[in-house]
A and B are shown apart, each in its own frame.
Chain A
Amino acid sequence: MATTARRFGNLDTAEDAAAEAFAIATERWPVDGIPPNPGAWLTTTASRKAIDRIRRESSRDARHTEAKLLYDAEPDPVGVIDDDRLRLLFICCHPALSMEARVALTLRMIGGLSVPEIARAFLVQDTTMGARITRAKAKIAAAQIPYRVPAAEDLPGRVSGVLAVVFLIFNEGYLASGPDTAPVREELTGEAIRLARLLHGLLPDDGEVTGMLAMLLLTDARRSARVSSARELVPLAEQDRGLWDVAQISEGHALVRERLASKVAPGRYQLLAAINAVHTDGDATDWTQVVALYDQLVRLDGSPIVRLNRAIAVGERDGLEAGLALIDDLDSALSGYHAYHAARAHLLRRLGRDTAARDAYDAAISLAGNTAEIAFLTRRRDQARPEDNGRCG
């Protein structure tokens, strides 16, 4: 490590790089065999990693400078880096930009991802993504979208716009869509958590920001248990809780407790965080608590998707028929949404109504976009035998 530190004159960089080199070594050596000169291998690998890191960081700084150059504003009264980042986040997530542009700009300017990386993440051509980012930057300059933190009265609305972008990035990672992508894309879930952490550091008193970070941590904590070795989605109740990330769960729980202690009425993300805290507490989900939290959430956001999730929880608390009745009420609003058909299918299967369950699974499969979810739904569908064909399995 000292070798690397001498070369780069920065202990942090050397330390990180050495840690990464060791991590790679522990992965590769058992497979590739130990190289003839392990020390030299480690130093070379660490140097390469340090160079990558410096490139990444310097291009990140360059992007901040680039962003500032878009404005011929007078020099900042406070030269605090955090302030810069916050302002940059508010520009990237400006409501006058399309959601696609907001996500792309945020990943580029704050996350430090390259254009090809972002293009791959959203399954579009590099040139398309490049044009999208260029167009957004041109609009920021031409329409004079300001480089500043919004006034207190506008802050909640603008913060919720930033949170929506973070949530979208996380969801695209956690339930990645598209036939050729991995079922979970850690580069996106990780980036979303990094952004939520950054935002939490910048706005520590914002309850919804805390809620977002807690919700992402408590959801991401279950990532390793969520897809089986057969690359199939594993539902919550069947997950191996031993695979859950204990550190993420305890951090998430602490954040939820902090919000509860504040005695301020929770917003949407805080309620979702609390629901995920219940899911990750003890040996099994306490559905009575989950329903109570969804009751609160429905009062804030009575959208059909929230009501669907509440109905699923009611089914677990009060019995499958009760849940199914509530789900069936949402037919007109959600018939184009795969999770609606999947939720119906699971309940119908558990109620032994196999023919109806198969139809619902078919509908869910035709609308689902995640490969692991499709694999899971397909297996469940095939387990549900039509009642009228006389075969027995």
Chain B
Amino acid sequence: MQYLINVIDYRSESGTAEEAVAIDAFNKKLIAGGHWVFAAGLADPTVSTVIDGRGDEPVFTDGPFVEAKEWAAGFWIIDAPDLDVALKLMCEGSKACNRRLEVRPLLSDP
């Protein structure tokens, strides 16, 4: 079972050097435990582009698809047998990156 973990933030590019060190250490632990799938930081939502390719001509819109007070500043995708394991792991992740997290299951094959 895989879970997407969004890192919740309300400031732009707010990561600190200490947080980067803690996140690195946490990632090493995820890899060692076989939980790591992928992770990345995200650029500010103001630099994103919404596309709609459903019509004849694609339509591009500057900015995020939803204006919100908070957004994802980064994410992990982890492998865990169930939600309890995912939550326990990511409590540590929340400490490491010093932010709140949203854990969201990926749809698995039916």
Contact = CB atoms under 8 A, between A and B. Distances in A.
Verify that A and B bind, or say they do not: yes
Interface of A: 94-96, 142-146, 150, 154
A146 B105 CA distance: 13
Contact of A142 (B81, B84, B87, B105): B105
Given A143-B3, A146-B81, A154-B88, 13 more contacts: A94-B83, A95-B87, A96-B83, A142-B107, A143-B83, A143-B103, A144-B1, A144-B81, A144-B105, A145-B83, A145-B84, A146-B84, A154-B84
A72 B3 CA distance: 18
A241 B29 CA distance: 61
Nearest to A145: B83
Contacts of A145: 82-84
Nearest to B107: A142
Interface in B69-99: 81-84, 87-88
A282 to B, nearest CB: 47
A75 to B, nearest CB: 17
Interface in B1-55: 1, 3
A199 to B, nearest CB: 20
A95 B103 CA distance: 13
A376 to B, nearest CB: 44
Contacts of B103: 143
B44 to A, nearest CB: 29
Contacts of A150: 84
A95 to B, nearest CB: 8
23 contacts: A94-B83, A95-B87, A96-B83, A96-B87, A142-B105, A142-B107, A143-B3, A143-B83, A143-B103, A143-B105, A144-B1, A144-B81, A144-B82, A144-B83, A144-B105, A145-B82, A145-B83, A145-B84, A146-B82, A146-B84, A150-B84, A154-B84, A154-B88
A145 B103 CA distance: 12
A150 B1 CA distance: 19
Contacts of A146: 81-84
Contacts of B83: 94, 96, 143-146
A145 B85 CA distance: 9
A143 B1 CA distance: 9
Among A94, A144, A154, max chain B CB count under 10 A is at: A144
Among B3, B81, B105, max chain A CB count under 10 A is at: B105
A143 B80 CA distance: 11
Among B1, B3, B84, max chain A CB count under 10 A is at: B84
10 pairs of A and B residues whose beta carbons are closest in the complex = A146-B82, A144-B82, A143-B105, A143-B83, A145-B83, A144-B1, A146-B84, A144-B83, A142-B105, A96-B83
Nearest to B84: A146
Contacts of A94: 83
A110 to B, nearest CB: 19
A255 to B, nearest CB: 31
A146 B84 CA distance: 7
Nearest to A71: B82
Contacts of B3: 143
A81 B83 CA distance: 24
B83 to A, nearest CB: 5
B98 to A, nearest CB: 22
B24 to A, nearest CB: 26
Nearest to A150: B84
Contacts of B81: 144, 146
Contacts of A96: 83, 87
Contacts of A143: 3, 83, 103, 105
A150 B84 CA distance: 9
Contacts of B105: 142-144
A145 B88 CA distance: 12
A146 B82 CA distance: 6
Contacts of A95: 87
Contacts of A154: 84, 88
Nearest to B3: A143
A235 B34 CA distance: 60
A96 B101 CA distance: 13
A144 B83 CA distance: 6
A272 to B, nearest CB: 29
A143 to B, nearest CB: 5
A231 to B, nearest CB: 46
Contacts of B82: 144-146
Contacts of A144: 1, 81-83, 105
A154 B88 CA distance: 10
A146 B80 CA distance: 11
A154 B87 CA distance: 12
